[in-house]
Amino acid sequence: MCSALAACSQAQSAREDAGPPSDAGEPDAGSVCEPSCAIDFHYPAQAGVSSVEVRGDFSSEPWGQGLELRLEGDAWVGELMLADKQFVEYKMVLNGADWVLDPEASSLPDGNGNLNSVVQADCGCNAASFDWRDGILYFVFLDRFEDGNPANNSPVANVPYESNYQGGDLAGVTQKIEEGYFTELGINVLWLTSPFDNANGIGIGDDGRDYSAYHGYWPEDLEAVDGHVGSKADLKALVEAAHARGIKVILDYAMNHVHIDSPLFSENPSWFWPNDNGFGGDCKCGGGCSWEGDEGRRCWFQPYLPDFNFTNADARAWSVNNAIMWIEETGVDGYRLDAVKHIEQSWLYDLRRRVRQEIEPNSGERFYMVGETFSPDSGLIGSYVDPLTQLDGQFDFPLRAELTRELLRREGSLVDLAGFLDYNSRVYREGSIMSTFIGNHDLPRAIHLAEDTPLFGDWDSGQGRGWDNRPAQPSAKSAYERLGLAFGFLMTSPGVPLIYYGDEIGMAGAGDPDNRRFMQWEGLSDNQLWLRERITALTKIRADNIALRRGQIDVLGASADTITYEMAAEGQRIVIAINRGDVTRTAEAVPTASYSDLLSGSEDSLSPPISLPPRSLVILRRQ
Ligand SMILES: [Ca+2]
Ligand SMILES: [Ca+2]
Ligand SMILES: [Ca+2]
């Protein structure tokens, strides 16, 4: 049976293509959408099994009477008519007695320690709604982007400029939306740092320095907007201004902890893990407790950040209610969920269920949930990705490490990248939509990894130069060209590509907080302008070519310095070839045909052998 939305629609169109519908309730071939449709179930035939029944919450006698499957060849099969978007929890019952999961389906905990299989009907009614594979995401660091209202600037006394509030706010972002900055750059989704009210005091960082909550990750009152960024009305106005221009908005939601000044902590101490490692000591992450596994879920990031215990049902319900409330109040289109591996997974299951039941039926749109699991382990990252029950996707940290190592820093060979891409394109569950990226607020600025002599390693936080010996804006064009290659890859490969504010102009900066310098609006160098124009051209090419947004990646060939791959969808095929080297190379394995290069914009016909100048790429469409 179909275990994910995408798989369901494929299965359905395969049936439609096969001939006249066998079932009166099935949509006619060619029809766009039906209020209900048939979903197929399968269970493999095996010795000792003489009957298989699907039982669940769908029947008039829930879990009591279900759908009897019939034996056809090597499988038990049957069909169930479901309403469009109907979500069903079920199990297979063997021989009338043995309850088992559907081996092909996603599963979901029922809250009592049991798992059920799940399926959602997709009757093809999505034509008008936004397909998140078409998203191009821009990460706005609210305090560091644009100051639209100097009246709300109130830095914390005795905190250095670098780790203090610098004045950026919601009104500033709204101005930039209305000026068309994002539209011109080809952006159709914004990720805002958390706008919720944070503690006003000083916190000591791991480096012993004084910090303010300018970053938004020290929530104090999760029902209010922080005065530094504006008001709830400002947040609603931003979302409205974005929607009016076809731009979606996703909020950073930090659900792992609150600040110790939060009344939530003083009034409900049992909702939080004790800062105690079980032996009377402290359970700071990376201190008395590990960052990983069970300890990683209950540890405190800092002694002033009490950690939610979501095994407590009241704590979990309060937090999920709060997340739902903000969606309803503001009309935001998705969440970027912080520190996913540090919370109990039950929180994700609960939020997804509530979104499915209470948000999506009203909006008619998919609410995108993208998580952050800062890890090289794609197995761990993927364990939270399941569009039916948890996250739609996560940020692809393993891909980012490969791209920085092989494309920007030019270590190893692009043959390594080819091998990684083959693996990575199969590693996450079908139907998931990962977000691909080069930079974010926890990593040193990407431009420095692209310099002739890279300043930072692939997993280097860059914090060694976060305060002292901070890097200057690179002057050589080569660094901007290499960063352009990395964005060239992101804009011609699967996922939702992310641009961290300022990376479109190659802004300088080491690790936190130097990677969060205030956005540079004036005095851009020719190289910075070149990079922004390059990215603008790339986002337009992505928007204009469905294969680039929704296709599968297929590596055609690679050498030490070059890689050639194809993206194909809906009858369109596009070939991309990249040369990371500092001398001209010939593209590997370009299929024989006449092409035009969408990036150069020239109508001139190209055919193999195709020559790639230093640090360049071509995006080839057959003529
Ligand atoms: Ca301000
Ligand atoms: Ca505050
Ligand atoms: Ca936690």
pLDDT tens digit string along 307-351?
999 999 999 999 999 999 999 999 999 999 999 999 999 999 999
- φ/ψ (deg, to 5) at 393: -170, 180
* Measured distance CA(164)–CA(166) in Å, rounded: 6
Are the CB atoms for 87 and 356 separated by under 8 Å? yes
pLDDT over 70, % of the chain: 95
For 427-445, what is the mean pLDDT?
Answer: 97
Least confident among 24-38, 111-125, 558-572 = 24-38
Contact 446, 501 (CB under 8 A): no
Distance 269 CA to ligand 3 centre (A): 14
Q: For residue 228, how far is its CA from the centre of ligand 2 (angstroms)?
A: 7
Ligand 2 midpoint to CA 221 (Å): 8
Distance of CA 342 from the midpoint of ligand 3 (Å): 4
How much distance in Å is there from the Cα of 193 to the middle of ligand 3?
A: 19
Q: What residues does the ion ligand 2 have nearby, CB within 5 Å?
A: 197-198, 200, 226
- Residue 288: phi and psi, rounded to 5, are -75, -15
Q: Are 80 and 117 in contact (CB under 8 A)?
A: no
Residue with the two structure tokens 């990683």: 296
Give me ligand 2 centre to Cα 199, in Å.
5
Statement: residue 22 has pLDDT above 50: no
Q: Which ligand is nearest to the CA of 147?
A: 1
- Distance CA(532)–CA(506), nearest Å, equals 8
* Chain region(s) in the chain for CATH 2.60.40.10: 5-120
Q: Is the alpha carbon torsion for 170, 172, 174, 176 positive or negative?
A: negative
What's the fold here for domain 551-622? Immunoglobulin-like (2.60.40)
User: What's the pLDDT band for 13 if we cut at 50, 70, 90?
Assistant: very low
Positive or negative, the CA dihedral 201, 203, 208, 214 is negative
Average pLDDT, the chain: 93
d(CA 470, CA 521): 20
The predicted model gives 101-111 an average pLDDT of: 91
Host H or E run for residue 317: helix 313-330
Angle of the 313-330 helix axis to the 232-244 helix axis, nearest 10: 60
CATH homologous superfamily, domain 5-120: Immunoglobulins (2.60.40.10)
Q: Which residue bears the tokens 């990371």?
A: 580
User: Tell me: the pLDDT tens digits for 513-535?
Assistant: 999 999 999 999 999 999 999 99
User: What are the tens digits of pLDDT across the range 219-244?
Assistant: 999 999 999 999 999 999 999 999 99
Q: CA angle, 196 as apex, 192 and 197 as ends, to 5°?
A: 140
- Residue 160, amino acid: P
370-422 pLDDT, tens digit each: 999 999 999 999 999 999 999 999 999 999 999 999 999 999 999 999 999 99
Smallest Cα–Cα separation from 465: which of 455, 451, 475? 455
Residue range(s) of every CATH 2.60.40.1180 domain in the chain: 551-622
Lookup result for tokens 């609603």: 236
pLDDT at 32: 60
Distance from C-alpha of 239 to C-alpha of 458, rounded to nearest angstrom: 35
Q: Give the amino acid at 89.
A: E
Helices (H), 102-185: 170-179, 181-185
pLDDT at residue 19 above 70?
Answer: no
Please give the average per-residue pLDDT across 463-480, as a whole number.
97
Q: Which of 242, 246, 272, 250 is nearest to 260 (CA)?
A: 272
CA of 197 to the centre of ligand 2 (A): 5
- Residue 197: φ, ψ to 5°: -60, 125
Q: CA 102, CA 80: separation in Å to the nearest integer? A: 15
Distance 512 CA to ligand 1 centre (A): 21
Q: Tell me: the pLDDT tens digits for 566-611?
A: 999 999 999 999 999 999 999 999 999 999 999 999 989 999 999 9
Ligand nearest to the backbone CA of 154:
1
| pLDDT confidence band for 85 (50 / 70 / 90) | confident
- Give exposure, 105-144, as e/b (b: 16+ Cβ within 10 Å): bbbbeeeeeeebbbbbbbbbbbeeebebbebbbbbbbbbb
Euclidean distance between CA atoms 340 and 333, whole angstroms = 19
In angstroms, rounded to a whole number, what is the distance separating the alpha carbons of residues 68 and 76?
9
- What are the residues whose beta carbon lies below 5 Å from ligand 3 (ion)? 256, 297, 307, 342
The end-to-end CA distance of the chain, in Å, is 40
